[in-house]
Structure 1
Amino acid sequence: MSDPIITALMTTYNCADYVEETMISILAQTFTDFEFLIIDDGSSDDTCARIRQFDDRRIRLYSEPDNQGVGARLNQALSLIRTPYIAKVDADDISLPHRFSQQLQFLQKHPQFGIAKSYFEYFTDDPLVAQSDRFRQFRSVKEAEHNCVNQPDDIAQQLRRWNCVIHTSYFAKTDVVKQIGYVKSRVGEDYSLFYKAAKAGVIIGCVPEVLVRMRLSQNSVTTKPDSAFHFAQALTALKYDELSALAKRHGSLWLYGTGGLAKGMAKAFAEHGIVLAGFIDRQAGSLILEDGEDYRVLPLTTDLARGLVIAAQPVRAEILQFFLDAGWQEWADFMVIA
């Protein structure tokens, strides 16, 4: 038997409810010359038992006793991969049957590319989630927002601002992913990979076809109280050089937005020694943070002091364009954090 060409890479943690459906979608790929590398990150449910029900020689399961987080397990996986290509798989999503074939052909036809994303679509099999406002917003806005970023130059530009590459949709040359590596974090490991790739000049392309269905469940549409802060910590670490340069240029930084991400960024700034001047939003006011600090909120105008970080994802594009139209220079006067 010849060595496989692709490694389908999946980490798991307490995903027994969905992992079988995901695995069926991978094992049913029309391109069959792959190995299926699965690293379980200390699941306490019967995830591993369900994986072991599959009798397929392509599956390699590593069941680890402790939970270290997805970033650490992905780095572990990279040390085990010997194939020339990697196809990332999330343990609750569905890959369409021709996904591997299409993305492999794309990279073989365009050798200048190191990574290929694809279009995707959200779905749910939970009636409560299907009726939620967040699910409707994901389907009507977020899905299109990601899929419309489909040209290499646009992907590179947008990745410097926000993560326009869905992790579970990427297919890459193994040496590219190994060279960059995953940050050993429980959150933001996907954006770190793609952000660093874009900065390093890796060309990322897109197969303009839906090849992945991304599941939304109760967990994925419910924001945990501390999730915004953990994400903000990861973003601050990832973009620390850019944040520091902006702060050095202007003395202190303003945050656009007053939601969970902006509040998390304020806390992360404090931990990293970045001086926060205050907040900006559509209307003036004040904002009291967890530590009791009371910050002023200035209204959005073109006369603001420069040194601004946009931390409001729903209006990211609108506020970005507002300041570009006002003559502000991205990275010199302001930046987008996510």
Structure 2
Amino acid sequence: MPSVSVCIPVYNGEAYLAETIRSVLEQTWRDFELVLLENDSSDASWEIATSFRDPRIRVERNRQTLPQGDNWNRAVELCRAPLVKLVCADDLLHPRCLELQVPPMRDDPSLSVVASRRHMIDEQSRVIVPRRGLGGGLVGLHSGSEVARRVIRNGANPIGEPGNVLFRREQFVTAGGWRPERRFIMDLDLWMRLLQYGDFLGVPETLAAFRIARGSVSAEFEQQISDEQQLLFDELGDSGVFDVRPIDVRIGRLALPLGRARRKALFTVSRIAARKDDKLLAERDEAEAAEAR
């Protein structure tokens, strides 16, 4: 049995899937399995997934397209290792990601979540915002209550997306897995439920990259994201599991617009870069056409 499972749920992800798979296979930590779950795509995702010849890869396919939350849950269910990392089909891992995240989790059973910083990249895999995440003092070892207070006060998701997070499969099952009804904050919602069972370790290195493309779901549903975050913050304040104070929740409500502004700025930068790429491509095609004439 491998020490860690990396799973990639993919639906119509042909544009970046090969690059994502390569970023996993290039890990310096070699003892892992890579589980690819192809969600009955209509593009070439299946062909790309099955084109890699590496004994650590298992490719599975859904008979029909599942909703995102159900597909992510099935991807984790297919994993065999005690430690799991889910990577979206357009995101990337740094070569040392598993090397720096697996040993702390393996050696300290009190840890439930290990996270790192990540780069924000555009459609061409260029870094548009470096070393993002773990703000508000989340580097180092922290209790679940400490993380809950700092997440609420941040007004966004300072822990990050699945690619830069490692968790325990057993606790994932106990916590109930990804909740599809929290469509826009499934990651943050899960991290906080996992932290009921242990501590959080934030490693300072930048070990993943989260892609922001023109078609990113988050860019279109800002109000829903804020509404789900507010609901989560209220739940954390009322649950009694974490030592969250009323002042934390009040500060979190005030911080939500700032979180929205930060996300909007990221999407704007990505769109500007994409438009520049389109313009350069059009100019190149024009020049080639002129030469042909």
Q: TM-score, normalised by structure 1?
A: 0.62
Verify the 8 A CA contact 1:118 1:211 in the aligned structure 2.
yes
104, 107, 110: which one pairs with 2:108? 110
Percent same amino acid among aligned pairs? 21
Judging changes above 3 Å, is the alpha-carbon distance between structure 1 residues 149 and 315 closer, same or farther for their aligned structure 2 residues? farther
Match of 1:6 in 2: 4
SS at match of 1:45: coil
More helix by share: 2
2:153 equivalent to 1:157: no
Verify the 8 A CA contact 1:163 1:194 in the aligned structure 2.
no
Equivalent-residue separation in structure 2 for 1:221 and 1:143 (angstroms): 19
SS at match of 1:309: helix
Match of 1:202 in 2: 198
2:170 counterpart letter in structure 1: D
How far is the alpha carbon of 1:116 from its aligned partner?
A: 0.3
How far is the alpha carbon of 1:239 from its aligned partner?
A: 4.9
Verify the 8 A CA contact 1:41 1:69 in the aligned structure 2.
no
Deviations 1:61-120 (A, max 9, x none): 222243333211122223322311112212112211121111111223433211100121
Verify the 8 A CA contact 1:160 1:195 in the aligned structure 2.
no
Judging changes above 3 Å, is the alpha-carbon distance between structure 1 residues 67 and 160 closer, same or farther for their aligned structure 2 residues? farther
Match of 2:246 in 1: none
Match of 2:258 in 1: 313
Match of 1:286 in 2: none
How many positions carry a matched residue from both structures? 244
How far is the alpha carbon of 1:235 from its aligned partner?
A: 3.7
Verify the 8 A CA contact 1:182 1:190 in the aligned structure 2.
yes
Equivalent-residue separation in structure 1 for 2:261 and 2:213 (angstroms): 25
Equivalent-residue separation in structure 1 for 2:166 and 2:112 (angstroms): 9
213, 216, 225: which one pairs with 1:231? 225
2:159 equivalent to 1:214: no
Judging changes above 3 Å, is the alpha-carbon distance between structure 1 residues 144 and 104 closer, same or farther for their aligned structure 2 residues? closer
- Larger Rg: 1 or 2? 1
Judging changes above 3 Å, is the alpha-carbon distance between structure 1 residues 13 and 313 closer, same or farther for their aligned structure 2 residues? farther
2:189 equivalent to 1:192: yes
Match of 2:282 in 1: none
Match of 1:33 in 2: 31
Larger RCO (CA under 8 A, 6+ residues apart)? 2
How far is the alpha carbon of 1:312 from its aligned partner?
A: 0.9
Equivalent-residue separation in structure 2 for 1:63 and 1:144 (angstroms): 33
What stretches of structure 1 of length at least 5 have no aligned partner?
A: 246-305, 318-338
Verify the 8 A CA contact 2:116 2:133 in the aligned structure 1.
no
